[in-house]
Amino acid sequence: MKKSDIILITVILIAALSSWLIFRQLNSENTIEDGVAAVYYNSTKILEIKLEDGSYKIFDNTRIIEIDEDEFIFHVEGSNPYGVIIKYDNNRVKVIDEESPKHICQTQGWTNSTLYPLTCLPNNIVIAIETGAYVLPPVDDTTS
């Protein structure tokens, strides 16, 4: 291995580590404790969960399957009839169950950051953390 190879590998490792540290810092600065977790189905808001206390506001009753107010569990219907089960705990939310081929939505973990929405594409469900200053813009479904 040449000296130039070692220098190149070192520079790449330093750049990767720096990027990771910057992302972690930005993510920690963008965690929200008094915002809302807005649940969207096909870019239409169906449910809002306050991160402060777990209270909620329903926008579309037809997409709400069940809400367990004692356990802070919200079961919403997506494209798949089984739907998506969302859990609120300690100013954050996560998907605890859903039906999709790879269960990626379920493995995304907890979020309370505006930089880290939970996306369940097979179910067309997006859970975005919002504050008064930022609201998820509607998606334009028209194609050119």
Domain coordinates in residue numbering, the chain: 1-30, 36-130
- HSE-CB at 30 with a 13 A cutoff on CA atoms is 17
- The pLDDT tens digits of the residues spanning 76-129 come to 999 988 899 999 999 999 999 998 888 888 999 999 888 889 999 889 999 999
CA 86 – CA 110 distance, rounded (Å): 10
Output the six-digit token pair for 33.
Answer: 């404790």
DSSP summary character for residue 63: G
Is the Cβ–Cβ distance between 104 and 111 less than 8 Å? Answer: no
Q: Flag whether pLDDT at 23 surpasses 80.
A: no
CATH T-level assignment (fold) for domain 36-130: mini-chromosome maintenance (MCM) complex, domain 2 (2.60.320)
Q: Which SS3 state, helix, strand or coil, does residue 25 take?
A: helix
Mean pLDDT calculated for residue range 31-49 = 88
